[in-house]
């Protein structure tokens, strides 16, 4: 497709152009509409230093013009990372006629746009409904993908936070003997409820059982509480055989 850009004569009658743009602004705007880097979509890559060289302005002047057109006139958007520029009303004046060659060109160029949010920005001004649908299709595909990706990232971040919390909670627990882990408050509660001797006896039994079987428990605190209830534990300095829970099943009950 031949590469040329048209500027309608009513460009000079536009109230925004005649009342708001300075002579410098008008030259810059015409450059943005007609330079050799433009595409059929109104979204194209343009480095600021290249624009400065081609117009003959200093880098400082070009930077000021970009800032004015983005924030004051609100006629363009620019991505400093991808170096892509989008012309707000491009579709209104340059996408009036459709046809397969134009549609194919638009599809190809939209697929190459790096910052997909610029597509929706240009799409708002397109009056040709068929071409607008093409823009909207690419924009919707991006938003759907972005939503799915964001949701996945959020889930991963939440899972990571949960793991950190679990790890933090685990770090707060003190290790007794070889395997028993209890927080200071859990140990104090067991001593208050069962007494120091019974608590120690059950901690030793749990430690030995974990060591001999490799069992894992969600909570050593609740395992000891459960054993104390089901075993009817009483400390006997002479013989502690009767203090052990009746069988291995009771040991395993709270295991993972």
β pairing state of 84-87 and 76-79: antiparallel
In this prediction, residues 62-75 reach a mean pLDDT of 96
Domain at 9-149, CATH from 3.30.420, 1.10.1420, 2.60.40, 1.10.10: 1.10.10
What is the pLDDT at residue 248? 45
Per-residue b or e along 85-119, where b marks 16 or more CB atoms closer than 10 Å to that residue's CB:
bbbbbbbbbbbeeeeeebbeebbeebeebebbebb
Cβ neighbours of 74 (radius 10 Å)? 11
Average pLDDT, the chain: 81
Q: How far is CA 9 from CA 13, 48, 76, 93, 121, in A?
A: 8, 27, 21, 11, 24
pLDDT digits (tens, 9 = 90+) for 73-92: 999 999 999 999 999 988 87
pLDDT band at 170 (very low <50, low <70, confident <90, very high): low
Q: By the 8 A CB rule, do 103 and 132 touch?
A: no
Domain coordinates in residue numbering, the chain: 9-149, 174-252
pLDDT digits (tens, 9 = 90+) for 3-46: 677 787 888 888 888 999 999 999 999 999 999 999 989 999 99
Q: How far is CA 89 from CA 41, 61, 96, 109, 213, in A?
A: 11, 24, 12, 17, 74
């Amino acid at each position: 497709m031949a590469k040329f850009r048209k500027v309608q004569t009513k460009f000079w009658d536009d109230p925004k152009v005649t009342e708001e743009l300075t002579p410098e602004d008008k030259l810059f705007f015409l450059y943005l509409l007609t330079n050799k880097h433009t595409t059929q979509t109104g979204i194209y890559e343009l480095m600021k230093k290249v624009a400065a060289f081609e117009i003959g302005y200093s880098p400082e002047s070009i930077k000021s013009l970009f800032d004015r057109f983005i924030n004051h006139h609100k006629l363009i958007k620019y991505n400093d990372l991808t170096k892509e520029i989008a012309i707000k009303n491009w579709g209104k004046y340059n996408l009036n006629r459709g046809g397969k060659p134009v549609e194919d060109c638009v599809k190809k160029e939209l697929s190459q746009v790096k910052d997909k949010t610029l597509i929706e920005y240009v799409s708002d001004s397109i009056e040709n409904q068929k071409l607008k649908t093409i823009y909207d299709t690419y924009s919707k595909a991006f938003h759907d993908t972005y939503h799915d990706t964001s949701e996945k990232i959020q889930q991963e971040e939440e899972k990571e936070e949960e793991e950190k919390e679990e790890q933090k909670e685990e770090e707060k627990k003190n290790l007794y003997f070889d395997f028993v882990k209890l927080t200071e408050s859990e140990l104090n509660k067991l001593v208050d409820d069962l007494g120091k001797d019974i608590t120690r006896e059950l901690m030793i039994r749990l430690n030995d059982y974990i060591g001999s079987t490799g069992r894992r428990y969600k909570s050593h605190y609740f395992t000891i509480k459960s054993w104390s209830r089901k075993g009817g534990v009483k400390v006997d300095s002479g013989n502690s055989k009767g203090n052990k829970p009746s069988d291995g099943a009771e040991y395993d009950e709270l295991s993972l």
